């Protein structure tokens, strides 16, 4: 576990976003993303995207302005991850605890999700990205569930990077669901109790199609997992950065990946 201090930079809600695919060079806010050695590249990166509200508060803007800029950060970072060759990127977009927020804010977040699917699905499909959603998203309104199902179906045959969005996700609920399914199989005689093992549990997790988690990043300076990928993070490297999520970009992701590459991962050995 370690922490990075953010770079000094100017940020503006109206700051233009460069096309990351132009001339074959990935750029974000006119800065080229440093090249990363393939030997130190994590296969699977997950991010707790925190700090939208504080970003807006610092600028005396409503919280929705921070969430809008957070969506722009999603675009920048997901494009940068694809350019780097990261196989899977998982983003914590809406936790099962976020229902406790004011109804208006929850409605705004659902609206932004609809807009993201409408505006970005074509690009994801063209870039051979496979979209996956983890969590109990079927609690959302029927029209939004239909949009999510359609987006996953459209990209299901793609063979490129995987973009996983955690929606109405909570790791404790995920593990309870796995435990219940294991108990049902034992009760129904489908397996013996001594056949329960880590591999069987992992095969029932929402993330069973993703590579093992290598790097988990949390923005905004908070240092906790907030019920996110608790099982999956067992041997992941944890990185807590002070940068607020709307200011996070491809260069910040490259810095995090470079820090990951300097770690020695022993997985309990010497």
Catalytic residues: 50, 98
pTM higher than 0.75 for the full model?
yes
pLDDT along the chain (270 residues), means of 10: 47 41 36 59 97 97 98 98 97 97 96 97 98 97 98 98 98 98 98 97 98 98 97 97 98 96 75
Which domains are seen in the chain, by residue range?
37-169+214-261 (3.40.1180.10)
Q: What is the pLDDT of residue 20?
A: 39
Do the Cβ atoms of 1 and 238 come closer than 8 Å?
Answer: yes
Q: What is the pLDDT of residue 40?
A: 78
């Amino acid at each position: 576990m370690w922490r990075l201090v953010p770079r000094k930079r100017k940020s503006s809600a109206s700051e233009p976003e460069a096309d990351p695919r132009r001339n074959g060079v990935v750029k974000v806010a006119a800065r080229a993303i440093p090249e990363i050695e393939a030997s130190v590249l994590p296969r699977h990166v997950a991010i707790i995207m925190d700090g939208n509200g504080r970003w807006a508060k610092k600028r005396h803007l409503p919280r929705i302005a921070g969430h809008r800029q957070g969506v722009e950060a999603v675009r920048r970072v997901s494009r940068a991850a694809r350019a780097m060759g990261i196989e899977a990127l998982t983003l914590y977009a809406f936790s099962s605890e976020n229902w406790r927020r004011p109804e208006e804010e929850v409605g705004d977040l659902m609206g932004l999700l609809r807009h993201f699917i409408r505006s970005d699905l074509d690009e994801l499909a063209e870039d051979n990205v496979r979209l996956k959603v983890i969590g109990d998203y079927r609690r959302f309104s029927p029209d939004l569930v239909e949009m999510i199902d359609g987006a996953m179906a459209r990209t299901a045959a793609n063979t490129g990077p995987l973009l996983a969005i955690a929606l109405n996700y909570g790791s404790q609920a995920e593990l309870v669901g796995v435990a219940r399914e294991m108990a049902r199989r034992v009760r129904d005689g489908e397996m013996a109790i001594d056949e329960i093992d880590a591999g069987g549990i992992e095969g029932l997790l929402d993330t069973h199609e993703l590579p093992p988690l290598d790097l988990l990043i949390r923005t905004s300076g908070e240092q906790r997992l907030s019920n996110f990928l608790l099982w999956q993070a067992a041997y992941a490297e944890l990185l807590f950065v002070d940068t607020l999520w709307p200011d996070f970009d491809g260069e910040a992701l490259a810095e995090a990946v470079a820090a990951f590459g300097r770690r020695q991962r022993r997985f309990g050995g010497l």
